[in-house]
A and B are shown apart, each in its own frame.
Chain A
Amino acid sequence: MNNNVPILEVHGLSVAFNSEEVLKDISFSVSEGDVLAIIGPNGAGKTVLFRALMGLIPFDGEIKWRDSAQIGYVPQKLFEKAELPLTVKEFFILKSKKLFFKDKQFIKSIDHELKSVGLKPEILNQQLANLSRGQFQRVLIAWAILGHPNVLLFDEPTAGIDFVGEGNIYNLLHKLQDERGMTVLIISHDLNIVYRYADKVLCLNKEGLCFGEPKKALTTEQIERLYGESAFYHHHVH
């Protein structure tokens, strides 16, 4: 693995909506195979950063992905659940490049990805709206890694995920990183996770406040600056 050339380099990234600056002059880089945690209070522009990284919104500054980078995206949530009747299988098939016909190879790889996120094939016939939050999160991850991208952008839900046995989402992400050499960018709300799993951390509150290895970059003062003093205890003691 070539760890010296970053798979992603960001220089002076700024995003504004209707002349209101949401992100201001952000710079960081990510090495291949690393886990970068992005933390910050609500409204800090974390999801906006992801959307800019995927080229979904206009921005100023420079975002340089390595040519080989293929992104899988795990959003925080989808649509209003009850509105659209979709089975899990149908949801996966929406990613197929074939617009109408069946793609047998594609359907096989769905089974493979389900297994790697710890779901049973029976879940395919369930309705998306009836899944538990934990199952739903795993389905979203399986959807994102279908087709083997080498970068995963993971927008963690604000509320905690209910884990039932078989390890948590972070062990799963870690496994993907180990087995597939995936680079993982994760928006996290849990500082314990950041210390335990991340190689680098980016603190964000419209501007980049810190960047580096969690133990060095994430000092107590830094966390207070980021969340405010009272929020610090809330976030730290979990």
Chain B
Amino acid sequence: MPGPILPSEGFNFVGGRKTGGVTIKSGSDIEELIARVVLRDRQAFLDIYDATSAKLFGVCLRILKDRTMAEDALQDIYVKIWRNASSYRPGKYSPMTWLIAIARNHSIDIIRASPPVTEELEEAYDLSSVDPDPEANAVLSGEMRRVDECMDELEGQKADAVRAAYMEGFSYQELADRHSVPINTMRTWLRRSLISLRECLER
């Protein structure tokens, strides 16, 4: 069993199951667990589930804004994680980034296939008012602050569009509707914003 246990990379890995003891795992622990999942180690897979499912469920809820849909999505996401574990390349990027990308992409596919009735659901599960997790805040990394600073360099509306796209999974069309601009304008805004963001982050 991988032992210790440091929060890292600005993520808070709180386990979904109360097993007693600490459930926060470091990125390198998760990386080792993924390597064992590739070797079809079921216990390692369940350990990954326990360490990361609350975070991924939070991400699913953020995008899907519906508990039942998010629960179904989470099931499919962990099945994908088991099946695609060998596509994770250790060492290069954070394993948590890889896991969250699977969760985001799956959730976004679901809303693309059947767009939600946004207003009702936002009322039912008001995510805009969910406070960021205090523990996560405590370990907010320099990277997080850096992205925030770079977002601040974008014009207000454009930063909002990038953030809404990433956080809630809005399509170009939905972003254009929200900001009352033609879709091509939104496309240009967002592309320029992303490139500016990259330049700022690489500065």
Tell whether A pairs with B. no
Q: Which residues of B contact A (CB under 8 A)?
A: none
